[in-house]
Structure 1
Amino acid sequence: MNSNFNDLSAKRRSIYALGNNVAQAPEEIFELVKKTIKNSPTAFNSQTVRAVVLFGAASDKVWEIVADALQKVVKDPEAFAKTKAKIATFRAGYGTILFLTDTAIVHQLEKDYPSYADNFANWAEQGLGGAQQAVWTALAEHGIGASLQHYNPLIDEAIHQAFDLPKEWQLRAEMPFGSIEAPASEKTYLNDAQAFKLIK
């Protein structure tokens, strides 16, 4: 079976060579992110996913915070130089999306449905993963490259302070995005027999 969805999914790759040569205006990308997340499923339709879309100096600020946080824990100057160079590739993009989980909703669901209480945090993570995948693919459809980074919880407090975010919003990932200045490396796959099983 052929699928346009799989064609789009194949375009979604981790792009590390980012630029700011993006034709779409920030408002257009913001609307795309909003619509994509709103159409992504969450358990109990709980809608626990939160996103903050940053451009310009605000996007740069994320990567300044990351660099400052890592400088405190990466003591070797040579290692930090490599780390700083990597962070610069994220900062070179057009913007950054912060993905967060609204823990207030998670905790309320735990109270409302105690027999499922142990599952809601995991289900929120599943919803977040689905939203991230969908946004990443939607960006790729428009020729915009991205990658998914995880500097939380090291940067959580500074990010919340810098952007005045609700304390209930737990930072889960950062997605730098921009023009594709160099293609992704070739993707390799496990042997199908290692990953899939057909039972009839």
Structure 2
Amino acid sequence: MSEFPKIPDSWDRFGNRFSRWLGRTVLKAWGWKVEGEIPDIPKAMFTVAPHTSNWDFPIGLMVMFAMDFKVYWMGKHTLFSWPFNGIMTKWGGIPVYRHAPKGLAEQIADRFKAHETMLVAIAPEGTRKKVGHLKSGFLRIAKAANVPVFRVTIDYKTKTVRFLDLFYPTDSVEKDAQECYEFFGQYQGKIPSNY
């Protein structure tokens, strides 16, 4: 476990010996490493960026397997179609319907409030395509749930998943989104031009 950051004892565990072995083996085979310090907090909004490729998901999943912690994640609803619905849900997936986003922040905030320990991951761009800014949903969720944003990056330049820092949203959503956009800009997604 020394090659991975230590996770808090209070965090929910995920998987078993096989899934830990699988995650570590795959990450090593792909040449990825994991760095950073993880604060001992019971709830957080994991914000993972830049998100420019479908490869971000399996890398993130392997990190969850390797480190043995449960993180819920939001993904496009089409990921949850048969025959993958059951496994995606078991792995912590929460389907997002892009054509009906109203109330999503409140729904996720309610989930946070109903649990003593909960981690939720989101790609703040909301898409792998170039948008030139971050959507504000992750900030609205964090603010409504009164939880910090835990900034995480999948940096393809160094092949490193980094657990970075905690960001506490202010009352200025636009300013916070721009600050986070600039912060993540120092890291490189798989397709840099899409950030």
Would you call these one fold, judging by a TM-score over 0.5? Answer: no
Q: TM-score, normalised by structure 2?
A: 0.25
Judging by fraction of residues, say which structure has more strand: 2
Q: Indicate the structure whose relative CO is greater, using CA pairs within 8 Å and at least 6 residues apart.
A: 1
Q: TM-score, normalised by structure 1?
A: 0.24
**Structure number, greater radius of gyration:** 1
